Amino acid sequence: MKCVIALMQHETNTFSPEPTTLGDFGRMFGCEKPPAGDEAIQVVAGVDMAVNAFIDLARAQGWDMDVPVAAWAEPGGLVEDAAFDALSDRICASISTGCDVVMLDLHGAMTTASYPDAEAELLSRIRVINPDVPIAVALDFHANLSQEFYDAATVVTGYRTYPHVDMYETGERAGRALLKVMKTDVDHELVSGWLPMLTHMIMQSPSFEPMKSIMDRAIEAEATGEVTTASVFGGFPLADAPQTGLSIVVSGEKGSPAHHGLLGELLKMAWAARHDFVYHPESLEETLTHSKTLTKGPIVLADHGDNSGAGGPHDNMAVLKMALNLGLDNLAVAPVPDPETVEQMWLAGEGHEIEVLLGGKVECPNLSILNEPLRIKGRVKKLVSGQFSITADMMTGMQFDLGRSAVLETDHAEIIVCEERTEPFDPAFFTYAGIDPTQKRYLLLKSRQHFRAGFEDMAAHILLVAGPGICSSDYGQFQFENLTRPMFPLDHDATVEPMDF
């Protein structure tokens, strides 16, 4: 038996001005281009990711294994067609030499200039080469997927958590289902459903309602054997593509009413809860003013409008500017990606006073927001390299490299500046620069949910801050052109037919 295992993950924010290149898919692993073969296995070794569950399964089964690519890029703008072709060519070339099983660790919301649903395109290319090979896919909870994708896959599972702390388990679930399909004579089928709902990501987490009941029911049905797999995908709303929306996929024995029934039940639950998935943010000034009334720290200020983890440039300074204007004190700011300022601070050297134009470098023409630098004076407190490893429950064991970094100290804040953009979800995003987050009154970071993996336990308070940016929860700001319409809540007249369930 030979299996082909590949990792190809990207969440594409189609409103981002920054295209995603082939090099971006290797940078996460410290490689110039996405690694392959033994190097691919080595860079993901020990990291909590689905691809490792696939590798462990192949080893346990004694299968020959080829890993043609391990590619993971930080969420961002459209993936360049050439990058997608290069990655899918590697996977297809491996499959074309002959294989019995394919296991893929994909995101599910990758979009390129030519392919709005890049994962469906990948699977269709595989099916041209081998129409019958079993394909198991583990996906992110934020997948936006089309019927074409589900028609081409054999097994599909999705993360059940947000923050995503069950990546490896999602791979294990896909592997278990795959073995069941391969080892029994019973015909197996996937059934899927999609709803015209742009759920607010801040309301999507299965940790709380309204998603909790829906996900719990899916988990129960899979655990008790009622169905083979059941996965609920909240969707990624910042993708202007026809398949964007909430979707559910359930599998079981062909002809059995159980999985069809469960699919309808879950779709009904999600649609009935659509108003509860709508987030109503308060103003930035209101939230920051409220934060001053709280007595105990650390207070996490989670700016979710410009968040690298949802494809944002991560350098909008509006929240920091207002926080300083309102007099917030003892503030630590998680790494702001700004290579120019880093260069300036490294040239100045530790201990020197400096004035910089911080952040605000990436223009966002798709949105009518002003992204401008913050002019700020301070002292270069520390220069440091940006390497550290993750100890929180999400992507545990992953090595990060934010590039050269520096800490700018002012009377009221310590601001980390770095070269690479990444969503902070682990205390190491502060400690690597010598800042103890537990000793700060305020922790200002750009994140929507993933920060909870590393900061929820230490925070006395968590405030969600509606900063401006291309990850805004105000969907009315975005010019959607390719979205299926009507779409709730953009269109309150969006409906689904009872027969759709």
Report the distance separating Cα 427 and Cα 447, nearest Å: 13
Classified as helix, coil or strand, 428 is helix
Give residue 200's identity as a one-letter amino acid code: H
* Minimal distance, residue 234 CB to Zn ion, in Å: 8
* Minimal distance, residue 260 CB to Zn ion, in Å: 28
When binding is defined by CB under 5 A, the residue of 90, 142, 160, 448 that contacts Zn ion is 142
Per-residue buried b or exposed e for 246-273, using 16+ beta carbons within 10 Å of the residue's own CB: bbbbbbbeeebeebbbbbbbbbbbbbeb
Number of residues that bind Zn ion (CB under 5 A): 2
Q: Near Zn ion by CB under 5 A, which window of 135-143, 279-287, 345-353, 459-467?
A: 135-143
* Minimal distance, residue 79 CB to Zn ion, in Å: 16
CA–centroid distance for 117 within its chain: 16
Q: Which of residues 297-356 bind Zn ion (CB under 5 A)?
A: none
* Minimal distance, residue 30 CB to Zn ion, in Å: 22
Report the residue number whose CB is nearest to Zn ion: 142
Q: Among residues 369 and 470, whose Cβ is nearest to Zn ion?
A: 470
* Minimal distance, residue 75 CB to Zn ion, in Å: 8
Q: Near Zn ion by CB under 5 A, which window of 43-51, 118-126, 134-142, 288-296?
A: 134-142
Q: Near Zn ion by CB under 5 A, which window of 75-83, 132-140, 408-416, 471-479?
A: 132-140
Q: Which of residues 396-425 bind Zn ion (CB under 5 A)?
A: none
* Minimal distance, residue 265 CB to Zn ion, in Å: 24
Q: Among residues 140 and 222, whose Cβ is nearest to Zn ion?
A: 140
Q: Near Zn ion by CB under 5 A, which window of 139-147, 324-332, 441-449, 473-481?
A: 139-147
Reported in sequence order, the residue ranges of 178-228 that DSSP labels E, i.e. its strands, are 188-195
The 8 Å CB, 24+ separation contacts for 252-261 are 252/188, 252/189, 252/227, 252/228, 253/186, 253/187, 253/188, 253/189, 253/228, 254/186, 254/187, 254/188, 254/189, 255/187, 258/226, 258/227, 259/189, 259/191, 259/227, 259/228, 259/230, 260/191
* Minimal distance, residue 142 CB to Zn ion, in Å: 4
Closest listed residue to residue 12, CA positions, set 246, 306, 238, 197 = 238
Q: Are 468 and 305 in contact (CB under 8 A)?
A: yes
Q: Among residues 12 and 228, whose Cβ is nearest to Zn ion?
A: 12
**SS3 labels along 49-79:** CHHHHHHHHHHHHCCEEEEEEEEECCCECCE
74 is an interface residue for Zn ion by CB under 5 A: no
* Minimal distance, residue 205 CB to Zn ion, in Å: 10
When binding is defined by CB under 5 A, the residue of 85, 119, 140, 315 that contacts Zn ion is 140
Q: Among residues 7 and 126, whose Cβ is nearest to Zn ion?
A: 7
Closest listed residue to residue 52, CA positions, set 61, 42, 62, 39 = 42
Report the distance separating Cα 313 and Cα 306, nearest Å: 7
Give residues in contact with Zn ion (CB under 5 A).
Answer: 140, 142
